[in-house]
Structure 1
Amino acid sequence: MFGDRRLFRYVLRELAGPSLLAVLAYSFLLLMNELLLIAQQALAKNLPFAMALKLLVLALPPILTLSIPMSVLLAVLIAVGRMSSDHEWTAIQAAGRGPGTMVKPLAAYGFFAAALAFGVFNYLVPTTQQRARAVKAQITLSTNLAADLRPRQWEVTGNHHIIVDEIQATDQRRLQRIVLASHEPHRLSIVFAGSGDIFPAPDRPGTLVIDLYNAIRHDFELRHVETYRISSWDFLRETIPPPPYFKQLLEPQAKIAATMPLDELWTEYRAAREGVAVADRKAATLGRERISDQILANARHVRSVVELNRRAALPLACLFFAILGAPLGLTQVRSGKGAGFSISMLIIVVYYVTFTFFEGLSIRQKFPIWLGSWMGNLILVPWIAWAYWKLRRPPRHEIGWIGRFYGFGIRLLRHVRSRLSTKTAPPLESEAPEKALADLAGTTNRFIRRTDRYVGARFLRTLSLAVLAAATLFMLFEVKDALEEVFKRQQPISLVFRYLGFILLERIPEILPLGCLAGAVVTITALTRTGELTALKANGISLRRIGLPILALAAGLSVMLFMLGNTVIPTATRNARELHDQIKGKPPATRGFPRTGNWTFGPKGERLYHYDYYDAQKDEFHALRVLTLDPTRRFILDHRFAERARYRDASGWELEGGWFIEFAADGKWATHQESYEGTYSVVLDSPDTFAPNTGRSLTRNKTEYSHVLTLAEISERITDLTERGYDVTSLRVAWHGKFAESVRPFVMVLLGLPFAFRAGRKGSLYGIGIALVLAIVYTAVFSGFNALGLESALEPVLAVWAPNVLFGLFGAYLLLYVPT
């Protein structure tokens, strides 16, 4: 009994380290995107460090609901696999103990993890979601357009568009050369001002006040030139009301089943069940088979039942994973490291795909609503039974017909190769043994080339496994959301597979550097533990020379990443965005266009264009408005409007309907106006100069330029927008990022090698931990510098290249002082 208790505690101690590492690794990978967004938001809105840290902490509990079960499986496979590879399991069997000795501590571990996940899922997640919403509302209430306004960038808030040429450094609220366009139904107001101030209204949350000096205001109905009015003001005060979502932040949010604590969810379930009964009685009284009240009540009941079962099924997966990990770790994962990752990824994919698929069927009421969430666990039951049956089956020496066929093929291949070989028989014993050894080993260069091939192949195998694990983890959550949307809209499942193919290519710049870092560190630590590194040093090969093939392969991968970033990845990203919109039920052609139309400057800022909509199929603009500006941009020289506009060729445009007004030299009154019927021709700028997105659907997120556009396209846009007076900081960051992101695999390997050489014989698990810590630090620094560049706090070239230069020099410095 005493021995059983010691074994019980020993197994639990073995699980502690891998569990902590696995939770940290999975949580970091899933939190990476949120970390980048929070860093950018913190710098853009000048958030204090405590507020940014609070946002990051509040984003963690929803991720823990997934990372805890995944970590349980990986930790069990690593710990049990290590015990098996070190023959500790053989010693336990020799002491007369069977699989139950391992199952008891693992079951206790699984119950503990399930209880922890249950508490996180049912109490911590709902609470943090409400807190996160409150914090985000607080940020939104405390920051506004007055703080976010940037020079030469159109800002849209509700029905108002505003752009300023300059913000004085001495006073961030003092604006120079302002254009304010206010849209109302069938009416438009445009104000040009020499200077002004913008600040939040003290007594009306969310409302902005703009004080304008030396202002000229144009006010008119959209299609009636006779309503055109011009007024000039020495001082004009305008107010911008808060957008609709701002008002919603001030109101208490109605909870849904997914955001309710367990006690509230149970109350919701009972109320939904009672609502179904009431709706059924009402339908029976009216003599109808089905009424709208029944549909709504039934949908509410289904959601509550599915959510209740989901809250229990996901945490209980920890117990199933822990029990399944014992036989798999003892029989399949004898190395306890790389194989543990691969098998854990396979099991996780099978579990979550099954879980998502059947839960979607339950929500659509095509499967028992209480059973769908449990199918992921139930599919593990036969797997567990088979694994324990195989573990307890007496060992047999026969290998089956597949093994015999494989052995026969290998023997036949060796026989044929020996017959075809031109080599003679081995030398007789009378010949000089030194010559025989020299012929066998070859020259020193040949030995080093063999060593390079061996180390390089080892690195590529580990890299492939790390990339596969990271890609599977990213794809897992993409497929979950995509399947839910496909089921909801009854779309073909082939959309999901096409989307995943494109999104996988889009993720390559994020996955490949992490895979290179993990591959390099794990390869070196594995060579150290097996003694191969010592043997190589004994033959006169230095540690730096051993790392050379890994660095060379990383450099090659960096070149490949640069080539992919300018060919395959931009196209894949665009296709992924289009498929994402299609899955979400959004028309791709309209994404990124404000409801009030698009305002943009023409070449050199001489004209201001506005159009409500661009019809790509007909290649025409609807409600095109062209304002010719004076050189100071303080008033309008003329104003042209057309119902429809089509660009024919360099000779001009074909306009349909509309009117034209010409103003005095100071822009304060109209000197000429006329209306048009039918079609007519005018000479304006080419549409490519003010609407470069015509005919294409590209994201406008400034953080995605480097993935969506090629290097040539970014350069073209920088030149075009610079001539028109726009701020191109984000594009310059993306241009330099094309080069800097391609170097990241090499930098990560250069940074990881010194730590791997210093790890000694602590094994691959220690190496994975080192790689994880380095990846966290590098990502945090990269995110901070990138956000500083986007906010113009640093020069783009410095913001993008600084992390690579700093970490590269640090890694090279440490590599020089590795004891070799």
Structure 2
Amino acid sequence: MKIIDWYILKRYLATFFVMLLMFIPIGIVIDVSEKINKILAKKVPFAEVAGYYGDFTLYFANMLFPIFLFLSVIWFTSKLANNTEIIAILGSGISFMRFLRPYLIGATFISLLALVMGFFFVPKASKGFNDFRYTYLKNNAKIRESDQVYKQVNDTQTIYVGAFNYMNKSGSKFNLETYRGDKLVSKINANTITWNPKDSTYTLYGYNKRIVGDGAVNDVIVRESQKIMKLPFEPDELTPTVYVAETMTLGELNKFIEKEKRRGSSNIDSYLVVKYKKYSIPVSAFILTIIAVAVSSMKRRGGMGVNLAMGIGLAFSYVFFDKVFGTMGEKSSMSPLLAVWIPNVTFGILAIFLLRNARR
């Protein structure tokens, strides 16, 4: 690479990481100010709080990295334009596309970093971040309660739970049905069911088992007030939490989705949206970089303020599109793949249009 490439690339990466280092402490301070009373009231150990804010840093940076990247590119490119450096570069015979090359190299580096973080590190940070919030900060336990879960847990058994609370690992109105082919072999009912993490068993209260015979009179019924037994599923499999897909690495998520498809889970679209976003968000680094350069490479009468105002508007428009179509992919009949990629396609077209105007 030439000197001009290194000059732009170093400023690209330095501005991005400096902006991250500036805004993350601000985010932590705001979060502390909101939660300090609950943390002190519940006497949360310092190690737990420190771990939470370590996870918060990764979670926060990953969630807002497109905005940070976009604003950092607009910031330093606007400075280049205001100092007439871009005019000098283009006046030396370098084409606009050649001028764009170090930006694309920087976007490639950031995309690969975001991809690795999203595949392996952010899921673990997401789990720690959300577990801390729901353990110490949320007063309403129902936020992690699922209603009327019905699914197939293996080739011969299906379960039904009227409601399951993930906080205390307990459910109500539990049914487990076992089939041989199309024939019902046995059915277990319980008023409540509780997970025992020490030995990975369940305690069933109001236990009632019916073994189906050749006729109704030949059925065997067993009743117990309480029974401890192993069952072919884990609490997370029984009623996955809202954010369960966000806490898995890519390999774990792929296996989980395949398993949930076999079981007929109604949350498949939500899990697919999380999976596809692991790929779409890194791609947004290229699109937002091109838009930022196209918008801020011109020297404007209002200076950097105009460019930043336009940049903030476009950045939050991207986030708005991403949230709206992500929700549509989870809750509507729209394909999750299509919903996740619509923002990138839309802003990709905008990037091409702005780039053509900037080249002129």
The partner residue of 2:188 within 618, 628, 640 is 640
Q: Choose from 148, 156, 159 the match for 1:608.
A: 159
Q: Between Structure 1 and Structure 2, how many residues are aligned?
A: 355
Equivalent position of 2:254 in the other structure: 715
| 1: CA distance, partners of 2:20 / 2:275 | 26
Match of 2:241 among 673, 685, 700: 700
Q: Counterparts in 2 of 1:107-126, with a 5 A limit? A: none
Distance 1:670 1:748 in 2: 71
> Structure 1 473/707 Cα, relative in aligned 2: closer, same or farther at 3 Å?
farther
Distance 1:793 1:464, change over 3 A: same
Distance 1:495 1:681 in 2: 33
Q: Retained in 1: the 8 A contact 2:325–2:339?
A: yes
**Which residue, 79, 85, 103 being the options, matches 1:526?**
79
Q: Which residue of 2 is the match for residue 775 of structure 1?
A: 315
**Alignment of structure 1 residues 299-698 onto 2, 5 Å:** 449-492=2-45, 495-584=48-137, 592-593=144-145, 600-604=151-155, 606-610=157-161, 625-628=175-178, 638-641=186-189, 658-663=207-212, 671-675=218-222, 686-688=232-234, 691-693=235-237
Q: For the residues of structure 2 that align with 1:795 and 1:614, how far apart are their CA atoms? A: 30
Q: What are the ranges of 5 or more consecutive residues in structure 2 without an aligned counterpart?
A: none
Structure-1-length-normalised TM-score: 0.38
| Whole-angstrom distance in 2 between the partners of 1:815 and 1:645 | 58
* 1:163 alignment counterpart: none
Q: Among 718, 724, 731, which residue is 2:263 paired with?
A: 724
SS at match of 1:700: coil
2:151/2:264 contact within 8 Å kept? no
C-alpha distance in 2 between matches for 1:615 and 1:528:
54
1:738 corresponds to:
278
Closer, same or farther in 2 for the Cα pair 1:656/1:811, shift >3 Å? closer
CA distance in structure 2 between the aligned counterparts of 1:638 and 1:744, rounded to whole angstroms: 52
Of 469-478 and 574-583, the range deviating more from structure 2? 469-478
Residue 524 of structure 1: how far off its partner (Å): 1.6
Q: Is the 8 Å Cα contact of residues 322 and 343 (structure 2) preserved in structure 1?
A: yes
Kindly indicate whether the alpha-carbon contact (under 8 Å) linking 1:790 and 1:796 is maintained by their aligned counterparts in 2: yes
Percent identity of paired positions between Structure 1 and Structure 2: 19
In the TM superposition, what whole-angstrom CA distance separates every residue of 1:322-354 from its partner, at most 9, and x where no partner exists? xxxxxxxxxxxxxxxxxxxxxxxxxxxxxxxxx
Change (3 A) 1:679 1:803: closer
CA distance in 2 between counterparts of 1:786 and 1:615 reads: 25
**8 Å Cα contact 1:603/1:724 also seen in 2:** yes
Moved more, 732-741 or 470-479: 470-479
**1:787 equivalent in alignment to 2:327:** yes
Which residue identity is paired with 1:542?
Answer: S
The 2-side partners of 1:681 and 1:476 are apart by 47
Contact residue 557 and residue 745 of structure 1 kept, 8 A: yes
Matched letter for residue 498 of structure 1: G
On the 8 A contact 1:455/1:549 being kept in 2, the answer is yes
**Alpha-carbon separation, structure 2, partners of 1:556 and 1:523:** 18
What per-residue deviation string (whole Å, max 9, x for no partner) do you get for residues 360-403 of structure 1?
A: xxxxxxxxxxxxxxxxxxxxxxxxxxxxxxxxxxxxxxxxxxxx
Q: What is the TM-score with the length of structure 2 in the denominator?
A: 0.81
What are the superposed Cα offsets for residues 727-748 of structure 1, whole Å, 9 maximum, x if unpaired? 3111122221111122222221
Matched to 2:286, the amino acid is F
Amino acid in structure 2 at the alignment position of 1:783: K
Contact 2:161 2:171 in 1 (8 A): no
Aligned partner of 2:351 in structure 1 is 811
Change beyond 3 A, Cα 1:699–1:641: closer
SS in 1 for 2:349: helix
Between the aligned partners of 1:623 and 1:585, the Cα distance in structure 2 is 26
2:303 to 763, 766, 782: 763
**CA distance in structure 2 between the aligned counterparts of 1:777 and 1:518, rounded to whole angstroms:** 13
Cα contact 2:284–2:344 (8 A) shared by 1: yes
Q: CA deviation at 1:584?
A: 2.2
Distance change >3 Å, CA 654–CA 803, structure 1 → 2:
closer
Is the CA contact (8 Å cut-off) linking 1:506 and 1:573 kept in structure 2? yes
* Alignment-mate amino acid for residue 322 of structure 2: F
- Are 1:646 and 1:655, in contact at CA under 8 Å, matched by a contact in 2? no
SS at match of 1:747: helix
Change (3 A) 1:646 1:614: farther
Equivalent-residue separation in structure 1 for 2:37 and 2:171 (angstroms): 36
CA contact (8 A) 2:12 2:72 kept: yes
Cα displacement (A) at 1:466: 2.9
Is the alpha carbon distance of 1:494 and 1:716 closer, same or farther for their aligned partners in structure 2, counting shifts above 3 Å?
A: closer
Change in CA separation of 1:583 and 1:677 when aligned onto 2, cut-off 3 Å:
closer
1:470–1:671 CA distance, 2 compared to 1 (3 A): farther
Kept in 2: contact 1:602–1:609 (CA 8 A)? no
Deviation of 1:796 after TM superposition, in Å, equals 1.1
CA distance in 2, matches of 1:458, 1:615: 47
Q: Equivalences for 1:24-35 in 2 at 5 Å?
A: none
Contact 1:525 1:761 in 2 (8 A): no
Change (3 A) 1:814 1:680: closer
Aligned CA distance change for structure 1 residues 624 and 791 (closer, same or farther; 3 Å): closer
For residues 204 and 246 of structure 2, the distance between their equivalents in structure 1, rounded to whole angstroms, comes to 37
Take 1:481 and 1:615, find their aligned partners in 2: how far apart are those partners?
25
Residue type of the partner of 2:219? H
Q: Which amino acid aligns with 1:592?
A: R
- Distance in structure 2 (CA, Å) of the matches to 1:605 and 1:786: 35
Residues 645, 453 of structure 1: CA spacing in aligned structure 2 closer, same or farther, 3 A cutoff?
Answer: closer
Question: How far did 1:538 drift?
Answer: 2.5
- Which residue of structure 1 aligns with residue 291 of structure 2? 751
Unaligned runs of 5+ in 1: 1-447
| Structure whose CA Rg is larger | 1
Shift of 1:681: 11
Letter of the 1:512 partner, please give it.
F
Return the offset for 1:491: 4.0
Tell me how far 1:662 sits from its aligned partner: 3.9
Alpha-carbon spacing, 1:626–1:706, altered in 2? closer, same or farther (3 Å): closer
SS in 2 for 1:541: coil
Distance verdict in 2 for CA 1:644–1:515, change over 3 Å: closer
**Following the alignment from structure 1 to structure 2, what is the Cα–Cα distance between the partners of residues 811 and 586?**
45
**Which residue type is aligned with residue 638 of structure 1?**
S
Aligned residues: CA RMSD? 4.3
Structure 1 counterpart of 2:333, which letter? Answer: A
Once residues 483 and 469 of structure 1 are traced to their aligned partners in structure 2, the CA distance between those partners, rounded to angstroms, is: 21
Residues 646 and 599 (structure 1), Cα distance of their counterparts in 2 relative to 1, 3 Å cut? farther
Q: Distance in 1 between matches of 2:245 and 2:278?
A: 6
SS at match of 2:13: helix
Once the two structures are superposed, residues 49-94 of structure 1 have per-residue CA deviations (whole angstroms, 9 ceiling, x without a partner) of xxxxxxxxxxxxxxxxxxxxxxxxxxxxxxxxxxxxxxxxxxxxxx
1:799 equivalent in alignment to 2:339: yes
CA contact (8 A) 2:206 2:224 kept: yes
Which residue identity is paired with 1:534?
I
Q: CA deviation at 1:692?
A: 4.0
Is the 2:148–2:161 Cα contact (8 Å) retained in structure 1? Answer: yes
Contact 2:144 2:166 in 1 (8 A): no
